[in-house]
Amino acid sequence: MANQNDRIKTLRSLPTIRERCSAVHALATQDKLQYFTYHPEKEADVVAYCVKIMKRDYPDFNKIPAHSRWRHFDTRRERITPLLAQWDNAGVSKREQCARLLDLFLVSVLLDAGAGNTWSYKENGGDEQDVYARSEGLAIASLDMFRAGVFSNNKDDPCRVDASKLRSLTPETVGEHLQVSSTNPLAGLEGRASLLASLGNALSQNQDYFGSGRPGGMLDFLENHLTGGETKSVPIIALWEVVILGLAPIWPADANSGGRASLGGVSLGDVWRCESLAESEKSATGGAWGGELAGLVPFHKLSQWLTYSLVEPLEVLMGWRVSGMGDMTGLPEYRNGGLLVDFGVLSLRRGALNDNYFPNKGSPIPLLPPSHPAIIEWRAMIVIELDRVAAQIRTAVGTDLSLPQILEAATWKGGRQIAKERRGDKGGGPPIEIESDGTVF
């Protein structure tokens, strides 16, 4: 790679995610990972389990929705469609409705790192049964905050997100709205509040992407990239540019990066160094991934989760088609990854982790920071294994399902279900716990 700017651009590109994760996967096939062993023969068990879940929940596979934040808002009952109907009745244009959902979805996804096993949220105006945990709880909490005008500068126009209001939000304010207390702790509260404040800065700084300073302002930028006749198409690369460049300032930098990689003082976001891959590349001669690039692996999980979630409002409300979705990858997070560990596709090497990483005596579940090299290996393997499992699921069901559909109906749901079956008495957590900082998982 010719220069620093080219290196940074490459590490932020979608195709690089698969390329670099594939390099880690290749080491696994040679049994050269430091922390995990790989058992591809176990993939068949994952596929059978996922297909069973899909047939149970979606007798008509054509009705499987895409993996998107929209699903979490509609847990147990619809919330977004009635909200759109309200806006219709108030004479709000489809474009402004889309802008509002882009506002909501972006903020909600940034709040959607792992919540831990003990936090829950009681929906505003709900009864005693309307209590939600994890991603669904965070989604519904963010929707309540959105409708209450927590993110808006205008009390007469509550359903919007304004940059200056985000900058004013404190961890105490965010915690209060998320119902955090000593008996209802939320992992990574400080990190979430910091992300929102940083988002406010990014929205203000990047007017080319966000106009006057709200997420929905990206519609103007995306319109400039539309192609086609009656059915308009916007390339995924344009939306990815908004997310990966427009939101670049939100990521912690240098001393506060928590182990994330940076080049020349530029924070790369969800990019980490895989030790086993770095060792392999340092010993290799030639190649583009030597020197300071050796072992670097981008995931951009939160950015991809956000991109998947923003696609749906664009398609539903603007009638646009987003092209080039094949460059997107599966999400390297603990539900998809837990599925692989629980079925033995991946197993931690015996003795690879010392006792300090097993805080609960007698429990086989380790607790690791996001920067731990075992987590980097795990996440890289998840990306490629999701591609492999998805291909086998398509063959098994005889239907060409998209990767977002498989993430929604099979792997993510399967990871949650198997965790509940095996560890329901312990909160249904994954087989490897992550110390959430509010910005990664």
Distance from CA of residue 224 to its chain's centroid?
Answer: 27
**For residue 332, what are the contacts with CB-CB under 8 A and spacing of at least 6?**
21, 299, 301, 378, 379, 380, 382, 383
Give the C-alpha separation, 34 to 22, whole Å: 16
Give the C-alpha separation, 274 to 189, whole Å: 27
Write the pLDDT tens digit of every residue in 118-163.
Answer: 899 999 987 888 999 988 999 999 999 999 999 999 999 999 999 9
Phi/psi class of residue 300: alpha, beta or left (left: φ > 0; alpha: ψ in -120 to 50)? left
- Which residues are registered as beta bridge partners of 348? 36
Q: Determine the pLDDT at residue 383.
A: 98
Give the C-alpha separation, 208 to 287, whole Å: 36
Instruction: Burial-class residue 2 by CB neighbours within 10 Å (0-12, 13-18, 19+).
Output: exposed
Give the C-alpha separation, 334 to 338, whole Å: 5
Give the C-alpha separation, 393 to 193, whole Å: 39
This prediction's pTM: 0.92
Q: Token pair for residue 235? A: 């390339």
Within a 10 A sphere around the Cβ of 16, how many other Cβ atoms? 17
Q: Determine the pLDDT at residue 233.
A: 96
Q: Token pair for residue 367? A: 């607790």
Give the C-alpha separation, 294 to 283, whole Å: 10
Q: Determine the pLDDT at residue 319.
A: 95
- Which residues are registered as beta bridge partners of 298? 271
Residue type at position 413: K
Distance from CA of residue 365 to its chain's centroid?
Answer: 23
Q: Determine the pLDDT at residue 409.
A: 97
Task: Please provide the size of the chain in residues.
Answer: 441
Give the C-alpha separation, 387 to 63, whole Å: 21
Q: Token pair for residue 351? A: 């003795």
Stretches where the chain sits below pLDDT 70 are: 1-2, 114, 252-258, 284-286, 437-441
Give the C-alpha separation, 2 to 4, whole Å: 7
Among 317, 110, 322, 113, which Cα is nearest to 232's? 322
Max Cα-Cα span within the chain: 65
Q: Token pair for residue 378? A: 């795990």
Q: Determine the pLDDT at residue 114.
A: 67
Q: Determine the pLDDT at residue 325.
A: 96
Q: Determine the pLDDT at residue 282.
A: 84
3-state secondary structure 322-340: EECHHHCCCCCCHHHHHHH
| Phi and psi, residue 122, nearest 5° | -95, 120
String of DSSP letters for 394-405: HHHHT----HHH
Residue type at position 11: L
In the chain, count H helices and then E strands: 19, 12
In this structure, are residues 343 and 42 in contact, taking their beta carbons and an 8 Å threshold?
yes
Q: Token pair for residue 139? A: 């989604």
Q: Return the SS3 of 31.
A: coil
Q: Determine the pLDDT at residue 255.
A: 42
In this structure, are residues 434 and 424 in contact, taking their beta carbons and an 8 Å threshold?
no
Give the C-alpha separation, 221 to 211, whole Å: 8
Phi/psi class of residue 345: alpha, beta or left (left: φ > 0; alpha: ψ in -120 to 50)? alpha
